[in-house]
């Protein structure tokens, strides 16, 4: 896992420009790395009996990204790390403003990719919460939604996307670093 982590983090860090293609590539690299890490966190929690995953079912991808990774790290720890880091805290506030101003719709309908303002308002309320589990879950839900919008083709390749992808990548990178450190020091993972 160390080699995978180093390679994909270096790949993400190699994109230093402010163009939309730079942020798309950075985001894809970070999403790839996060997928691998939350997969390992999910399997570790299952091996230790904290969660149950079915043998004959697909991997619980969204739960791994939104629920199991923060469960593995600790909701309070993540929130503390994100709010103490000025760049991450500013990024969270920027994402809140983007949703408040309806600059972006995060929750998109399938198959047309149309905004769902009511769902975004629910997400916004959770992002503003002072309760660690609610706020962290909302942050990761937003990140996972952006990832799905990109991967499944509902996110336009337009320069305005930088306003969304920049704060998402800043927060995601910090979560990745925290999750990797926790996995690497944990006795029941495969570093």
For the stretch 49-106, pLDDT in tens is 999 998 888 899 999 999 999 999 999 999 999 999 999 999 999 999 999 999 999 9
Q: Please tell me the distance from the alpha carbon of residue 37 to that of residue 22, in angstroms, as a whole number.
A: 23
Q: Please tell me the distance from the alpha carbon of residue 17 to that of residue 185, in angstroms, as a whole number.
A: 33
Q: Please state, for a pLDDT cut of 70, what percent of the chain lies above it.
A: 97
Q: What mean pLDDT is reported for the chain?
A: 93
Domain positions in the chain are: 2-185
For the stretch 118-134, pLDDT in tens is 999 999 999 999 999 99
Q: Please tell me the distance from the alpha carbon of residue 76 to that of residue 155, in angstroms, as a whole number.
A: 31
For the stretch 10-23, pLDDT in tens is 999 999 999 999 99
């Amino acid at each position: 896992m160390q080699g995978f982590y180093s390679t994909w983090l270096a790949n993400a860090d190699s994109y230093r420009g402010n163009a939309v293609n730079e942020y798309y590539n950075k985001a894809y690299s970070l999403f790839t790395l996060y997928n691998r890490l939350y997969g390992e966190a999910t399997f570790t929690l299952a091996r230790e009996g904290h969660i149950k995953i079915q043998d004959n079912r697909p991997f619980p991808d969204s739960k791994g990204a939104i629920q199991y990774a923060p469960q593995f790290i600790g909701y309070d720890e993540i929130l503390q790390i994100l709010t103490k880091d000025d760049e991450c805290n500013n990024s969270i506030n920027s994402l809140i403003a983007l949703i408040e101003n309806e600059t972006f719709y995060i929750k998109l309908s399938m198959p047309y990719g149309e905004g769902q303002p009511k769902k975004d308002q629910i997400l916004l309320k959770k992002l503003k919460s002072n309760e660690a589990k609610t706020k962290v879950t909302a942050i990761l839900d937003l990140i996972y939604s952006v990832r799905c919008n990109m991967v499944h083709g509902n996110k336009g390749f337009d320069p305005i996307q930088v306003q969304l992808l920049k704060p998402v990548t800043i927060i995601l990178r910090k979560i990745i670093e925290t999750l990797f450190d926790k996995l690497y020091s944990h006795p029941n993972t495969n570093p």
